[in-house]
Structures are given as C-alpha cells and as structure tokens.
Structure 1
C-alpha cells in the first residue's frame, strides 16, 4: 500500500486529465471588486512564473500584494525566473520555510 506523505497536495480528477478553465489573477481580482491585496499565498506546483509574471505585467500596482508567500522548490520548472521581476517591483525576501519564501514590499 502506498502512503501519501504530501499532506498539502491536491489534485483534480483521477489522473486521467480534465479540462480546467483558467483565468488571469488580475481578471479574478477585478471581477470580484478587490481593490487591495495584503497577502497572496501561491502554490501551483512549478507554474508560479506563468501566473505571477503576467499579473505583475498587467495589474495596477495598487493590486500588488504587500506580502507574497510562494513555493519556490519547483523553480526548475519555471520558464522564466520570477525573482528579478519581483525585485524590480520592490519585493525583498523576509523569511523562508522548508518549501516557501516570504517576500514583502513596503
């Protein structure tokens, strides 16, 4: 019997693939009338660059989160390194846990 030791993991479907509708983060925030984001926690298994880079390119700076918690252990799967972009947006590393990094902008 195989034991799942990834307590924070999740999956959609039974491993056979399923169509999932995706939307840009900025569109979701704007459609929900969000005007400020204090903390954004993102963990999308190596696709952080594909969500964050368009967000920081398209979202008004007023929607940029004060703090960003993200998993970076899958950075080898990124098509583009997000850290230089985050630094240019004013984010600095504040802390780190086993699999996550906390970045803040003030």
Structure 2
C-alpha cells in the first residue's frame, strides 16, 4: 500500500479550498494532520474538521493544541467523532 501526505494529494488534484475534511484513520490522525498543518498554506486548511478521536491513545503527539493554535474550536460531538470549526 502506498501512503501519500494529504498536502501532496490535494496539490496533485489541484484542490484550492477544503470546506470540510472528514478523517478517520484509526489512530493515525496525528501523523496525517500535524505535517499537513505544518506545511500547507492556511488557504488549504479546512473550514470544518470532523475526526475520530476515540483512538487518541495511539497518537504520538496530541493534535488538539496544534488545531487550537490554528484557530479551530470544538463545535460538536457524536459517539466517536468531534467537529472542529475555524472561522
């Protein structure tokens, strides 16, 4: 299986804006999101982020402080997902 960074995928598809990103990668959210927010221009940051956080024990680094610094706030929660929005 080939793994590619999120930013590479968006650029390869000529994506210029992301309104909502739903991510569920079984405890690897930190390894996908942290490089994305470190390298992607803020214009590509999604307005809303829906992510599974029940596997946060697998994270090498907590993503929530980084997301807060990027302007995201918790807007809602379901059984296993959290909704974060940036305005």
TM over 0.5: yes
Q: Which of the five TM-score ranges fits, normalised by the shorter chain?
A: over 0.9
Corresponding residue for 1:55? Answer: 36
Shift, 1:71, TM fit: 0.0
Corresponding residue for 1:16? Answer: none
Instruction: Decide which structure has greater helix share.
Output: 2
* Gaps in structure 2 of 5+ consecutive residues: none
Secondary structure of the structure 2 residue equivalent to 1:79: coil
The counterpart of 1:91, out of the listed 62, 72, 86, is 72
RMSD (Å), alpha carbons = 0.3
> Does residue 71 in structure 1 map to residue 49 in structure 2?
no
Task: Provide the TM-score with structure 2 as the length reference.
Answer: 0.99
Over 2 Å off, 4+ runs: none
Q: May I ask how many residue pairs the two structures share in their alignment?
A: 87
Identify which of structures 1 and 2 has the higher relative contact order when contacts are C-alpha pairs closer than 8 Å and 6+ apart.
Answer: 2
* Gaps in structure 1 of 5+ consecutive residues: 1-19
Instruction: Decide which structure has greater strand share.
Output: 2
